[in-house]
A = this chain, B = another copy of it.
Amino acid sequence: MKQKRIELPPDQRVTQWYNVMTDIPNGVQPPLDPETKQPVAPEKMARIFPMGLLEQEMSDKRWIDIPEEVLDIWQIWRPSPLIRANFLEEAIGTKAKIYYKYEGVSPSGSHKTNSAVAQAYYNKREGVKRLATETGAGQWGSALSFATHKFGLECKVYMVRVSFDQKPYRKVMMNTYGAQIVASPSPDTPTGRAILERDPNTPGSLGIAISEALEDTVSRNDTKYALGSVLNHVCHHQTVIGLEAKKQLAMVGDYPDVIIGCCGGGSNFAGLASPFVPDKLDGKKIRLIGVEPASCPSLTKGIYAYDFGDVSQRTPLLYMYTLGHDFIPPGIHAGGLRYHGMAPIISALQRENLMEAMALNQLECFEAGVLFAQTEGIIPAPESCHAVRAAIIEATRDKNEPKTILFNLSGHGLLDLSSYEKYFAGELSNYEYPAEAIAEATRHLPKI
């Protein structure tokens, strides 16, 4: 009987985050102030983020101590298991070994909880009473709702209207964790009111929800803002995933040849892959593969430029692969991957050829998700299905090559079963974004 689960003993837990920025050749470009086109001053960001997180955002320390308070709450689900997907290997008939790190064991069901707890902690430490945020698919909103409650902070989540209506269970989960949720656009902010007046039936968008959360934040003096991906500090927090996986593989005397994660804003892939970058720089022959949806292909079809993080141009300019800040991706069911840009850290890894990107369509990803559920038991989140598919592609490219594949199963799909239902009913389709549409959306990027 093959050992399937590799559990890291508590005394070997990871106690420092890894800052990959310090190792990327040519570094990661700083965010710019849209007015001055100069690096944005920390004081200007301090209105919306606590200093503890801003320090991490710009840190030149290679290792950052994880606070004891964060480690304590993380114990609920960390160290997360590393699992050998031997049943999947048998089903696809490969000699490759496939391991997956499973982040769906967290209370809210995905890797998002790792950073949510850290962000709530630093805000609490600096006397913040309340956090405002937006959520698309609902994973980040659920994670932050849990984390804020643990630290006695209030939380308000602006949830994109279409998800709010389609995923009622996500709302109940956030309510259970004591957070306040509104559908966005909402009557609670000037932007929300203006949009509702123009179009009372709008489905909303992540861009609108970000604007609302930012307006909420600056309209009060007890509130700061929290973001679940893209930014450097969020990527750092997620490195616990890759650091743990590395130790767990070492426990069974293994090391990955291929490392795979799905890419939306980028924190999930950064979390798994970053800790392997130094080995790659040292000459290890490993491949890091970020998987994005063909319908929102920032890494494979976007341009590398300074762009806004949101539709309403309220954020600093970030240097990243982008489809343009007013690019509206189609309504695929992996809502967590529908973002026009890519984390500056990931973008820099791509620029330096330290990683590869792969774009997949949603039908092939759901198909892989169902095979995974039937063999390994766990029903993956639609986002994670992208990583599953990519792992199968890599494992069957040459079935007789005995390589080792590691991927991150970033979340379970138990609150996404309505998407599976639509898949079974044949109601989902693929979307390849036409190159002209992307050219059009990126034509108006700010000139730096």
Q: Which residues of A contact B (CB under 8 A)?
A: 1, 3-5, 7, 9-10, 68, 71-72, 75-77, 83, 87, 105-107, 109, 146, 149-150, 168-169, 172-173, 175-178, 370, 373-374, 376-379, 414-415, 417-418, 420-421, 424
Contacts A7-B7, A10-B5 known; A378 to B175 CB distance under 8 Å?
Answer: no
- Give Cα A1 to B414, complex, Å: 32
Q: How far is the CB of A97 from chain B (nearest CB, A)?
A: 16
- Give Cα A149 to B83, complex, Å: 20
Contacts A77-B377, A377-B77 known; A418 to B1 CB distance under 8 Å?
Answer: no
B68/A1 in contact, CB under 8 A: yes
Which residues of chain B have C-beta atoms less than 8 A from A1's C-beta? 68, 71-72, 75
- Give Cα A414 to B378, complex, Å: 14
Closest to A76 in B: B377
B168/A4 in contact, CB under 8 A: no
- Give Cα A71 to B2, complex, Å: 11
Closest to A75 in B: B4
A4/B76 in contact, CB under 8 A: yes
Which residues of chain B have C-beta atoms less than 8 A from A379's C-beta? 107, 173, 176
Which residues of chain B have C-beta atoms less than 8 A from A173's C-beta? 379, 414, 417
- Give Cα A72 to B84, complex, Å: 12
B71/A109 in contact, CB under 8 A: no
Which residues of chain B have C-beta atoms less than 8 A from A374's C-beta? 149, 176-178
- Give Cα A76 to B4, complex, Å: 7
A377/B4 in contact, CB under 8 A: no
Which residues of chain B have C-beta atoms less than 8 A from A169's C-beta? 169, 414, 417-418
- Give Cα A5 to B7, complex, Å: 11
- Give Cα A168 to B176, complex, Å: 21
A107/B378 in contact, CB under 8 A: yes
Q: What are 10 of the A-B contact pairs (CB < 8 Å)? A: A1-B72, A76-B87, A76-B377, A77-B377, A105-B105, A107-B373, A173-B417, A176-B373, A176-B420, A176-B424
A373/B421 in contact, CB under 8 A: no
Q: How far is the CB of A349 from chain B (nearest CB, A)?
A: 32
Closest to A378 in B: B107
